[in-house]
Amino acid sequence: MFNLKKIILVILILTILMTACQTKKELKTLSDMQITACNAAHDAKTCDTRLAELGIFLKEDCCQILGKCC
C-alpha cells in the first residue's frame, strides 16, 4: 500500500507546481481619448513625436492594443 505521507507530499508538490506555472494575463484597455489620440498620431505619422509629447500613454500600448504606431 501507498504510504500516506508520500501521497500527501506528491499532492503538495503538484499543487505548488501547478500554481507556479499559471500566468496571470492583465488585459490592458485604452480610453476613448487614448484611442482617438492613437488613431490621430498614426494617421498623421507623429507617433514618435506628438504621442510621446502628450504623455497620455505609451506608443507601445497603441501598437499592442490597436496595431497602430508600430
pLDDT band at 62 (very low <50, low <70, confident <90, very high): confident
Tell me how far apart the alpha carbons of residues 29 and 62 are, in angstroms, rounded to a whole number.
Answer: 10
Domain boundaries, the chain: 32-66
Whether the pLDDT of residue 25 is over 70: the answer is no
Q: Is the pTM of this model over 0.95?
A: no
pLDDT of residue 24: 54
Tell me how far apart the alpha carbons of residues 61 and 1 are, in angstroms, rounded to a whole number.
Answer: 57
H or E segment at 17?
helix 4-21
The dihedrals phi and psi of 17, each to the nearest 5 degrees, come to: -65, -45
Q: Helix %, strand %, coil % for the chain, to 5?
A: 65, 0, 35
